[in-house]
Amino acid sequence: MANNEELFKQIIAHAKEYGFIFPSSEIYDGLSAVYDYGQNGVELKNNIKQYWWKAMVQYHDNIVGLDSAIFMHPTIWKASGHVDAFNDPLIDNKDSKKRYRADVLIEDHIQKIEDKINKEVEKARKRFENFDEKMFRETNGRVLQYQKQIDDITERFAAMMNANDLAGLKALIEELGIVCPISGTRNWTDVRQFNLMFATKLGSVSDGADTIYLRPETAQGIFVNFLNIYKTGRMKLPFGIAQIGKAFRNEIVARQFIFRMREFEQMEMQFFVKPGEELKWFDYWKQTRLQWHTDLGIAPENYRFHDHEKLAHYANAATDIEFKFPFGFKELEGIHSRTNFDLSQHEQYSGKKLRYFDPELNENYVPYVIETSIGVDRMFLAVFSNAYTEETLEDGSTRVVLKLPAKLAPYKAAVLPLVKKDGLPEIGQEVFDMLKKDFMVQYEDKDAIGRRYRRQDAIGTPFCITIDNQTKEDNTVTVRERDTMAQYRLPIADLTVELMKKLR
């Protein structure tokens, strides 16, 4: 495990040293869990997005794209459930260092009192023949006393939750004598609210509802545009809407480099299907998405499905594609069967009909949805950490090479005159000018050739094109492959076509 920690640190250091990822605001001491993508990182990231967009939008005639705004009407987040779900009051026990949801602690306490009532009922049932449970519950003194406690607590608890009275919740927990199940003490911190949505203010929304949120997921932008795209695109079920965009979550703890950031980017596709067909399509997307990953040439054993046992309230099936990161298998992509929950919620909150008219059945209904959702940054980390390789060569020397899938590499080729004289740089410039129209290419003529190869290895450039004296005679160049270091000669005129072939 220590080895993996060391490896992860080296990967992070490499990402910085070679212009892939920098800590945000670094000259001001940085900003926790925010990162910037540097000159090579932005290329790799863009290539990942393009690979996804092509696979989803370009290769499916029934999937279209969308770029919805980050700002959205605040009611959307009430409809989606995020306003409530992202507002948990949390409290820590200072002795056990464990954190709990304050509302859950109180609910558990209420449950304990209910258990006591049930015990009384069971005792009585054994004692009396012709036991009338309803009568007993309504008349037994001890039960009534317990029930009164429950009613009191529930009433005050509900009022506090509605009023967002955090100090009151703490007082209630202390008053009820709730102890930490681990430490057994009542040594609690104050109750704090962790709202996982970032709020900001918009100038003029009616009725003082001027708080708006930075979206915590891109999916809702798709749902609220369902009708627009269905109508204007003349879409027929099943069809999908794909979107790539930033999302923001005020994570309590954001950690592990770019794995969990406060500002991150998602690639989401919502696939609308006929009710009853959702599980068929769920399986289809499960396989299709896994295929997308393994098509990159990354070993399949780095991936596994993790099917959810406990489903969210809106889902009737869910799985994660997990990837073997340097710190273990973690979620890379989620595939969820979200039923018609989201569209139904938006129907209810907006008062608009979000329905599909099915010409075959001659009736309309709210479509079901299969969601595929992958984090761009997590994909970046998966590809990057998988590519990072330290090799010892036959002659005992070492090299660090990023074995990136060629189509994702920041630069596709480097043009390198073998020496900086004899007219070779001039030819190199011509080759560079020819290739740059179709590919990201680098030209470099400083330092010994071996050193330049190593530099290109370190940023994952799959091909190095070397100009030598023979080039002047027959217009051929050496192509050197990154992973094998094998070399072969090609006519300059064939370079573009050959590169295209290799990058498909």
Partner RNA sequence: GCGGUAGUAGCUCAGUUGGCAGAGCGGCGGCUUCCCAAGCCGCAGGUCGCGGGUUCGAACCCCGUCUACCGCUCCA
Q: Which residue has the tokens 């920041």?
A: 410
Q: Which residue has the tokens 């761009």?
A: 376
**Smaller CB distance to RNA: residue 235 or 495?**
495
Q: How far is the CB of 84 from RNA (least distance, A)?
A: 10
Dihedral angle at the C-alpha atoms of 43, 49, 53, 59, nearest 10 degrees? 70
- Would you say 29 or 61 has its CB closer to RNA? 29
How far is C-alpha 164 from the chain's CA centre? Answer: 30
Between residues 287 and 470, which has the closer beta carbon with respect to RNA? 470
Q: b/e for 181-198, b at 16 or more Cβ within 10 A?
A: eeeeeeebeebeeeebbe
Residues of this chain that interact with RNA (CB under 7 A) are: 5, 8-9, 12-13, 16-17, 23, 29-33, 81-82, 85-86, 92, 97-99, 189, 216-217, 249, 251-253, 255-257, 260, 312-314, 327, 334, 373, 393, 395-399, 418-422, 424, 446-451, 453-455, 466, 468-470, 478, 480, 485-487
Q: Are 223 and 73 in contact (CB under 8 A)?
A: no
What's the closest the beta carbon of residue 432 comes to RNA, in angstroms? 16
Closest separation between CB of residue 487 and RNA, Å? 5
Smaller CB separation from RNA, 326 or 405: 326
231 or 421: whose CB is closer to RNA? 421
**What's the min distance (Å) between Cβ of 217 and RNA?**
4
The minimum distance between CB 348 and RNA, in angstroms, equals 17
Total residues found in the chain within this entry: 504
- Read off φ and ψ for residue 491, nearest 5 degrees: -65, 140
| Three-state DSSP class for residue 492 | helix
Q: Which residues pair with 365 in a beta bridge?
A: 356
**DSSP letters along 98-162, please?**
-EEEHHHHHHHHHHHHHHHHHHHHHHHHHH-SS--HHHHHHH-HHHHHHHHHHHHHHHHHHHHHH
Closer of 124 and 434 to RNA (Cβ): 434
Which of 29/67 has CB closer to RNA? 29
- CB nearer RNA, residue 146 or residue 216: 216
CB of 245 to RNA, least distance (A): 13
* Nearest distance in Å: CB 396, RNA: 6
C-beta of residue 371 within 8 angstroms of C-beta of residue 271: yes
- Amino acid letter, residue 351: G
State how far the alpha carbon of 267 is from the alpha carbons of 172, 217, 333, in Å: 43, 10, 9
CB of 336 to RNA, least distance (A): 8
What does DSSP say about strands 317-325 and 303-307: parallel, antiparallel, or unpaired?
Answer: antiparallel
